[in-house]
Chain A
Amino acid sequence: MRKLFLAALLSTFFLISFSFVSAQTPPAPVTNLTAKDTPSDKGAQVDLSWTASPDEQRAENPVIGYQLLVALSSDSPFVAVGKADAGASGATAKDGLKNDQSYYFKVRAYAADSSFSESEVAGPATPTGQWWNTQPNYIWIFVGMVMLVGFILYNIRKAGKEELYIRPIAGINAIDEGIGRATEMGKPILYICGLGDAAQAATIAAFSVLGRVAQKVAQYQSRLIVPCYDPIVFSICQDVVKGAYLNAGRPEAYNEKDVFFVTQDQFPYMAAVNGIMLREKPATNFYIGQFYAESLMLAETGFQAGSIQIAGTDQLIQMSFFIVACDFTLIGEEMYAASAYLSKEPEQIGSIKGQDWGKVVFASLSLLGVVSALLEHKIGFFEMLKKVLLAE
């Protein structure tokens, strides 16, 4: 009898629990759902906005997220095309959408227990691409770009007609000294273009400096070793070095095995270059380009191998390592200027000049902004003066 009573009690308890869980109501749906083609984009995207479900805030079984659903007509089955977190009042549907095709959308609000509710259907919305990004921020970027390009083109033209002044940079003279030292010691020169790809500004600057170094090396009949990280950079380095030997009148001295691809993996590349440093004992190491975590390990090994080291990069953190471990450094834009200074090409000199003009404009804008920000707080400033002067 007691067992029967206990079983009845337990059954009642589970029944009550179950009925309590099943009584959990699904969350309220989102409201005011709208669907519009995303403005100023490449297309295939639709912006959805809604008023969040009020059940995001409820204590039990709150809304934990939203699912974006799409269909080709309002009465056909909807499929998921994205998600949004609770608290969001909009999202962009872009997964699998096509331009010039009309879509209908729904948003499903789902709760912690997987119960859900769906909104009213919104649409149709037809994604299309735009050629011009008309957001205000981008208009200013466009104005800035046109201005900067204008400055550069004007100065390139000017540099073609007359010699333009660029101030001497300390690290540049060291380049010739480093090549001379290697020739005197009868040891090779190691040139590292960094880990950047061929389109990065730092790598392009590295090509210019490499051309100059290779030409001098060819003239002095020394040896240049260029281990490469990126396959495209490797191809360009081969062309640059080969061209430099040709310009120096010594094409037969070019050894294509001295410009080689190692691997496109950071630390194995570093291990290989470190090995070259200790085995070949180069007299001079050049590190010009984009560098990351390998910079200190390379520079430190070069230092231990007794090489003169010249480095240039636009990476802030790696620059600090090069300053510590190298003999000469080209900081950020000095590297680009060095490339122009060495090549004397009107395009590069004009580009540096044009950028200088740009710096004047941008620094002036900053100053103007600082002054206007100060004026905005002038009342607070006078308040402080009053407090200090009258000792209030």
Chain B
Amino acid sequence: MVSLTIAGFLTLGIMSFVYKDNPVYKLCESIFIGVSAGYYFVSIFYQSLLPQLTDKIGITGELSDSALAYYRETGSLASPQWFNLIAAVLGVMMLLRLVPKIGWIARWPLAFVIGSTAGLRLIGELQTNIMAQIQKSILPLWDPQYIDGSLNMAASVGHSLTNIVMVAGILTGVVYFFFSKEHKGVFGGTAKVGIWFLMVTFGAAFGLTVMSRMSLLIGRLDFLLRDWLHLLG
């Protein structure tokens, strides 16, 4: 009951921002930020740093079920993953930022993190965004639909129109994002069609997301009125 009451007051405190900035909001904001920063520190320490560092190189003995089964079977542990020590060294290098004279060393791990992650993501981006998108955009502009072996005109026209809109949207959208040529003449007109397609998409996305936000608000009001104040049955 005490925790529910605290949660209820904090919710109202944060919601008071809708009226204007006020001391109650400032208090709730500070609690919110402080608790989350502290929670994340502890969470990262125990769920990321320790398992990735000490457990993987065999300093502590928390084993997964399969590793335990392997140990029972063979009498030996899986090999320590010494590569994880490199990450530890990079982490220590990051902390050298706090020493002004050798603070420049902190740029090396940053360069490593950005370069390696960007390189690794390149393949994923090509796979999911480029190749998959090309595959999905290869659609027949005339897409006959057969029902019981005979051509169904209405369904065929409907499917074909959908495909035409898809292909036109993709190609004109690509033209809009072409930066090497000024948007003039036919090229400019095509780009304008592209931006219209984008705006319609954004409008649809906006409407969809607003509805999901409404459900979040309803969830919070439900907490206040049902769980906390018991005003709803």
Contact = CB atoms under 8 A, between A and B. Distances in A.
A152 to B, nearest CB: 11
Contacts of B140: 370, 373-374, 376-377
Interface in B134-152: 134, 137-144, 151
Interface stretch (B1-9, B35-43, B49-57, B224-232): B35-43
A384 B153 contact: yes
Contacts of A317: 205-206, 208-209
B24 interface: no
A197 B117 contact: yes
B177 A79 contact: no
28 contacts: A81-B69, A141-B123, A141-B126, A145-B122, A145-B126, A166-B179, A198-B114, A232-B94, A264-B40, A267-B32, A272-B33, A316-B202, A316-B205, A317-B209, A356-B179, A356-B180, A360-B178, A363-B174, A365-B134, A366-B137, A367-B171, A370-B140, A373-B141, A374-B141, A374-B142, A376-B140, A384-B156, A387-B153
A274 B26 CA distance: 11
B76 to A, nearest CB: 10
Nearest to B151: A383
Interface of B: 14, 17, 20-21, 25-26, 28-29, 32-33, 35-37, 39-40, 64-67, 69-70, 72-74, 78-79, 94, 97, 106-107, 110, 113-114, 116-118, 121-123, 126-127, 130-131, 134, 137-144, 151, 153, 156, 167, 170-171, 174-175, 177-183, 198-199, 201-203, 205-206, 208-209, 213
Interface of A: 71-72, 76-77, 79-81, 95-96, 98, 137-138, 140-141, 144-145, 148, 164-169, 197-201, 204, 232, 235-236, 239, 262-265, 267-269, 271-272, 274-275, 278-279, 293, 296, 316-317, 319-321, 323-324, 331-334, 337, 352-353, 356, 359-360, 362-363, 365-367, 369-370, 372-374, 376-377, 380-381, 383-384, 387
Contacts of A81: 66, 69
